[in-house]
Structure 1
Amino acid sequence: MDGGGEPQSAVVGVGEMLSATRESHGLSVADAAHALKLTQRQIEALECERFDLLPGAAFARGFLRNYARYLGIDPEPLLQALAQTDGVGAPELAPVCNAEGTMPASDGGLRPSALPIAVLAVLLLSAVVAGWYFDWFEQPRETAESAQVMETPVAPAALTPVPPAAHLAPVVIPDDAPADATALNPAAAPGSGAPAATGAAGMTGSAGMTGAPMAVAPPLVAEAPEAAAADAAPADAEPAAPPPQLVFRFTKESWVEVRDAAGEIIFARTNRAGTVQEVQGTPPFKLVVGNARSVTLEYGGKPVDLAPHTKISVARLTLE
């Protein structure tokens, strides 16, 4: 009887550690369940050490590992303690021996020789489902609001320079044409046309230049093509500045969550040691970084110190 109580005492404190760490981070059970894609009942079962309420031993180990990583706790000591409990350790598969003797006639029930095969099939199926779940959890969640799409600056449309206006040839008035002051001076008022014509005729007679042709002054020359093209061509538009960029570098495994200005999660995953992640979006950014002492962060090309924002091993900060 004394030896039977030792495995149960080895795991005491696992649930309390998970619950205390979650509360120290200011997270609720609903927050943890949403981040880990679990139900609140499963989170409560882990914190209450009710592993018998979970789908199976493989799922219990996987849930515990992911929960510990989410909170920034090393999962290995917890898994070792979990393996010491009855019914939660790694399943042992024994080879199936063929039954000997005369096989009874089938009466519609499950034959004794088929029972070990059914048990083995259930164990294999549980292992496959557990492996699929963990592989799916490790993949980064894609969001429709992925702010990592780079904005492509629009190149300004090329403007075709306006050709200069053609020079107008001067108009020569023949000798027999009447000296019409209104035609020579279009700006003159209609009411003053007759006096202007009389004055012009008098001046011509006194000067003795009645028979000389009169030429209309040429119009102003249009602006030079080079100057017009220089004025018409706009300065090259400056390309739009790219959105601020977050660069994470991991020396140890760490879980990171990033929310943009709209409060949407644009990045959330567990990152392996030696990897680099780049995230773009609309600031301000709200960051939660697990195992923060093993993460270096750059924002807009400048380093960000996570130490002032770190409690236990999780950093929480907002970057404008």
Structure 2
Amino acid sequence: MSIGNSPEDDRPSVGRALQQARTGAGLTVEEVSTTTRVRIPIVQAIEQDDFSRCGGDVYARGHIRTLARAVALDPDPLITQFDAEHGGRPEPTVPKPLFEAERIRSEPRRPNWTAAMVAAIVAVIGFVGFTLFNGGSKGADGPVSADGRANAEKKPAPAPNTTRPTVKPTVPDPAPSDSAIAGLPKDKVTIKVTALGQSWLSAKDANGRLLEDVLLKKGQSKTFTDKKRIDLVLGNAGAVQLYVNGKEVKQVGKKGSVARLSYTPGDPQAG
């Protein structure tokens, strides 16, 4: 008789965990497929714990990791759970040692007497030249000046440069100045999106034409301009810095949430 379930029994499956995270983030299967470039049938199958469409365990792990990051979920516990439910990863094959009998032994080389004789002649010539050079330089302790006296003064060796190169600190990009804001066109809406963390972005113009649909990494930026209106969909809105017509929009959204925004020319509050 079972009194209670263990925490592992209450833990949702890999596909169920991905589905719950996607639903909690307010994303559809089509939006996740567009962001991750994983086809819709494969996303639907994985959420039903059907990994047969992935083409093998290696590809299944890659799809799980990609989908988990798209819905702001830690992929490592899901990979561990997947391995536990599917027999784990195969151990690497250890190469067998090579037998001594299989090694090819090189035949002993015969001595090259011609090369030995040439080396001996070169050594003798070098020794004679060295002896003559030292004999001619004996008695001179240093350079001699024009009046015959030895110049005992030597120039001091330059001191080693111990100064370390100065490393300039990285200064973040400042907010747009008043002159930059004044230089923006008044009859257009200009939007700049900068990712402070990983987030996905979808932008359309007033006619519904898709301008951009991309997963932004930390530090990446996108800028859009239109005469009438720009519609934005921001995933993980709390990790996005947004400027509309040169002015920063505060509190775009919470971390992990999806924000749907629309802006027109003029003040950001008019959008």
Give the structure-2-normalised TM-score.
0.51
Equivalent residue, structure 2, for 1:277: 221
**SS state at 1:84 partner:** helix
Paired residues for 1:295-310 under 5 Å: 295-307=240-252, 309-310=253-254
2:18/2:47 contact within 8 Å kept:
yes
Paired residues for 1:19-98 under 5 Å: 19-87=19-87, 92-95=91-94, 97=96
- How many Å separate the matches in 2 of 1:317 and 1:90? 44
Equivalent residue, structure 2, for 1:254: 199
Equivalent residue, structure 2, for 1:318: 262
Q: Could you tell me which amino acid in structure 2 is paired with residue 278 of structure 1?
A: K
**Residue-pair matches, total:** 174
The structure with higher relative contact order (CA 8 Å, sep 6+) is 1
Long gaps (5+) in structure 2: 1-5, 100-182, 265-271
Taking a change above 3 Å as real, the CA distance of residues 82 and 245 of structure 1, as seen in their structure-2 partners, is farther
Give the structure-1-normalised TM-score.
0.44
- For the aligned residues, what is the CA RMSD? 3.7
Equivalent residue, structure 2, for 1:287: 232
Taking a change above 3 Å as real, the CA distance of residues 252 and 31 of structure 1, as seen in their structure-2 partners, is closer
**SS state at 1:50 partner:** coil
Taking a change above 3 Å as real, the CA distance of residues 301 and 57 of structure 1, as seen in their structure-2 partners, is same
- How many Å separate the matches in 2 of 1:256 and 1:248? 9
Taking a change above 3 Å as real, the CA distance of residues 239 and 293 of structure 1, as seen in their structure-2 partners, is closer
Higher gyration radius (CA) = 1
Could you tell me how far 1:47 is from its partner in structure 2? 0.7
Q: Could you tell me which amino acid in structure 1 is paired with residue 261 of structure 2?
A: L
- How many Å separate the matches in 2 of 1:80 and 1:10? 16
1:69/1:254 contact within 8 Å kept:
no
Long gaps (5+) in structure 1: 1-5, 101-237
Taking a change above 3 Å as real, the CA distance of residues 296 and 311 of structure 1, as seen in their structure-2 partners, is closer
Q: Could you tell me which amino acid in structure 1 is paired with residue 236 of structure 2?
A: N
**SS state at 2:86 partner:** coil
Taking a change above 3 Å as real, the CA distance of residues 22 and 286 of structure 1, as seen in their structure-2 partners, is farther
Taking a change above 3 Å as real, the CA distance of residues 76 and 52 of structure 1, as seen in their structure-2 partners, is same
Q: Could you tell me which amino acid in structure 1 is paired with residue 93 of structure 2?
A: A
- How many Å separate the matches in 2 of 1:91 and 1:259? 46
Taking a change above 3 Å as real, the CA distance of residues 289 and 30 of structure 1, as seen in their structure-2 partners, is closer
2:202/2:234 contact within 8 Å kept:
yes
- How many Å separate the matches in 1 of 2:242 and 2:184? 26
- How many Å separate the matches in 1 of 2:57 and 2:10? 17
- How many Å separate the matches in 2 of 1:90 and 1:250? 35
- How many Å separate the matches in 1 of 2:89 and 2:230? 41
- How many Å separate the matches in 2 of 1:315 and 1:82? 32
Taking a change above 3 Å as real, the CA distance of residues 264 and 51 of structure 1, as seen in their structure-2 partners, is same
- How many Å separate the matches in 1 of 2:191 and 2:89? 40
Q: Percent identity, please.
A: 26
Q: Could you tell me which amino acid in structure 1 is paired with residue 222 of structure 2?
A: E
**SS state at 1:281 partner:** strand
Paired residues for 1:31-180 under 5 Å: 31-87=31-87, 92-95=91-94, 97=96
1:246/1:279 contact within 8 Å kept:
yes
Equivalent residue, structure 2, for 1:268: 213
Taking a change above 3 Å as real, the CA distance of residues 36 and 319 of structure 1, as seen in their structure-2 partners, is same
Equivalent residue, structure 2, for 1:116: none
Equivalent residue, structure 2, for 1:142: none
**Mean CA deviation greater in 57-66 or 42-51:** 57-66
Q: Could you tell me which amino acid in structure 1 is paired with residue 62 of structure 2?
A: G
- How many Å separate the matches in 2 of 1:27 and 1:296? 21
1:21/1:71 contact within 8 Å kept:
yes
Could you tell me how far 1:12 is from its partner in structure 2? 3.3
Q: Could you tell me which amino acid in structure 2 is paired with residue 57 of structure 1?
A: D
2:235/2:256 contact within 8 Å kept:
no
